[in-house]
Chains A and B, each alone.
Chain A
Amino acid sequence: MSRQVVVPFGPQHPVLPEPVHLDLVLEDERVVEAIPRIGYVHRGLEKLVEKRDYKDYIFIAERICGICSFIHSVGYSQGIEALMEIEVPARAEYLRTIWSEYSRLHSHLLWLGCFADSMGFENLFMQSWRIRESVLDVLEETTGGRVIQGSCKVGGVRKDIAAPQLEQMKEGLKTLQSEVDDLVAVFSDEPTIKSRTIGVGVLSKDEAWELGAVGPMLRGSGVRKDMRMLGYGAYEHLDFKPVAHDAGDCYSRCLVRAEEMSVSIDLIRQAIDSIPEGEIEVKVKGNPDGEYFSRVEQPRGEVLHFVKGGGKKNLLRHRVRTPTMANIPALVKTLAGCQMADVPVIVLSIDPCIGCMER
Chain B
Amino acid sequence: MRKEEQETIEVTLQTLASEVQKQKDLGSRLVQICCARIGDDFELHYSFEREATDSPFKFTDLKLVTDGGSPIGSVTGIFFAAFGYENEIADLYGLKIEGNLLDFKGTFITTSVPYPFGKPAVTKKEGTS
Contacts and interface: CB of A to CB of B under 8 A. Distances in A.
Touch test A–B (CB under 8 Å): yes
Nearest to A308: B36
Contact of B2 (A44, A47, A232): A232
A82 B109 contact: no
Interface residues of A, number: 44
B1 A88 contact: yes
Interface residues of B, number: 36
B34 A210 contact: no
Nearest to A46: B117
Interface in A22-76: 35, 37-39, 42, 44, 46-47, 50
A212 B81 contact: yes
> Looking at B57, B84, B85, B108, which has the most chain A CB atoms within 10 Å of its CB?
B84
B115 to A, nearest CB: 12
Contacts of A232: 1-2
Contacts of B108: 37-39
A269 interface: no
Interface string A267-307: 00000000000000000000000001101000000101010
Interface string A82-93: 100011100001
B116 interface: yes
Contacts of A229: 56-57
A107 interface: no
B122 to A, nearest CB: 7
A211 B56 contact: no
Given A39-B109, A293-B59, A321-B31, A329 B116 contact: no
A81 B2 CA distance: 10
Nearest to B45: A306
A302 B57 CA distance: 12
A87 to B, nearest CB: 6
Interface string B1-20: 11110100000000000000
A130 B111 CA distance: 39
A325 interface: yes
Contacts of B109: 38-39, 42, 358
B102 to A, nearest CB: 8
A82 to B, nearest CB: 5
A103 B98 CA distance: 41
A86 B4 CA distance: 14
B32 interface: yes
B110 A39 contact: yes
B74 to A, nearest CB: 14
Nearest to B104: A37
A326 B83 CA distance: 11
A124 interface: no
A206 to B, nearest CB: 10
Given A293-B59, A293-B61, A358-B109, A316 B80 contact: no
Interface in B1-55: 1-4, 6, 29-32, 34, 36-38, 45, 47
A87 B45 CA distance: 27
B111 A317 contact: no
A236 interface: yes
A210 B31 CA distance: 10
B116 to A, nearest CB: 6
A81 B34 contact: no
Which 7 pairs across A and B sit closest by C-beta, in order of nearness? A317-B36, A321-B32, A212-B81, A39-B109, A329-B81, A319-B34, A82-B3
27 contacts: A37-B104, A39-B109, A44-B117, A46-B117, A78-B1, A82-B1, A82-B3, A82-B4, A209-B29, A211-B80, A212-B29, A225-B56, A229-B57, A231-B2, A232-B1, A292-B6, A293-B47, A293-B59, A293-B61, A304-B31, A306-B45, A317-B34, A326-B31, A326-B81, A328-B84, A329-B80, A358-B109
Interface of B: 1-4, 6, 29-32, 34, 36-38, 45, 47, 56-57, 59, 61, 79-81, 83-85, 102, 104, 107-111, 116-117, 121-122
Given A82-B1, A317-B36, A329-B80, 10 more contacts: A37-B108, A46-B117, A212-B31, A212-B79, A306-B45, A317-B37, A319-B34, A325-B32, A326-B32, A358-B109
